[in-house]
Amino acid sequence: MSTEPLRITSRDNPLVKDLKRLAQDGGAYRKQGRVWVEGDHLCRAALARGVRPQLAVFSESFWPSALAGQALAAIKTVVLDEALMAHVSGLESPAPVAFVIDLPAAPALLPDAPTVVLDRVQDAGNAGSILRSAAAFGFAQVAALTGTAGLWSPKVLRAGMGAHFGLRLVEGLVLDDLAALQVPLLATSSHEGELLHRAALPWPCAWVLGHEGQGVDPRIEARAAQRLRIAQPGGEESLNVAAAAAICLHASAIARG
């Protein structure tokens, strides 16, 4: 396979327009069936998990020193000058390398997998941070209900720091889909329920993290085996959902032993 790249110089090139949509529109991955993975760390994480990119995109200045593994891994390689790379990228400081990968096929929920349920978590940074915690603390599956930030959007990918490639991600679910889970649901609450540090936590389980303002849907709470809250001796009204997720998932990992 030749590693000679295709050099593109025009903003009007159809591929450049598609790449810009993927990089800057959080929902474009659903329309194109492809995912924009920007930055050396994320690209390396994808390769480490056996992902073969459709396309590798390099800046002109970075191309001469590009890692051979990155270039050879892709089916096709494109080089853009710095101005065009900045035009495509959604970042203030564009990365010199990006991949375009196929959007993974939508998997079914695994009934017995340790799971994190995202109930309308709308902030992309929160969603990505929760995915990172899920991977770190041994939760294999993330189930995102409708209204949650797109899990494969560029902002969620950046916040996830590579966690995506080690998780089973199931998007676009509705409440009744959670009936497929055969592990206990644990619902987080700001003010009600048992204190987390005193609770006996089951394993495997499914932690439910709710909307940043409204919390967990009451219909999901009604199905939960346990409702749990985090002690806040400092007196704040509530924790950021990503911070709460890290505390809860870590507690499960410790209880698991």
Q: Full-prediction pTM beyond 0.85? A: yes
Given the DSSP bridges, would you call strands 194-195 and 141-145 parallel, antiparallel or unpaired?
Answer: unpaired
**163-187 residue pLDDT tens:** 999 999 999 999 999 999 999 999 9
Q: Is the CATH code 3.40.109.10 the one for domain 115-256?
A: no
The full length of the chain comes to 257
CATH tag for 6-102 (out of 3.30.1330.30, 3.40.50.720, 3.40.50.300, 2.60.40.60):
3.30.1330.30
- The reply to whether domains 6-102 and 115-256 share a CATH topology is no
**6-64 residue pLDDT tens:** 999 999 999 999 999 999 999 999 999 999 999 999 999 999 999 999 999 999 999 88
Please state at what angle helix 241-256 crosses helix 124-136, rounded to 10 degrees: 10
Q: Name the residue ranges covered by the structural domains of the chain.
A: 6-102, 115-256
Q: How far is CA 72 from CA 66, 102, 232, 247, in A?
A: 10, 17, 51, 40
H helix and E strand count, the chain = 9, 12
Residues forming beta bridges with residue 226, ordered by sequence position: 186
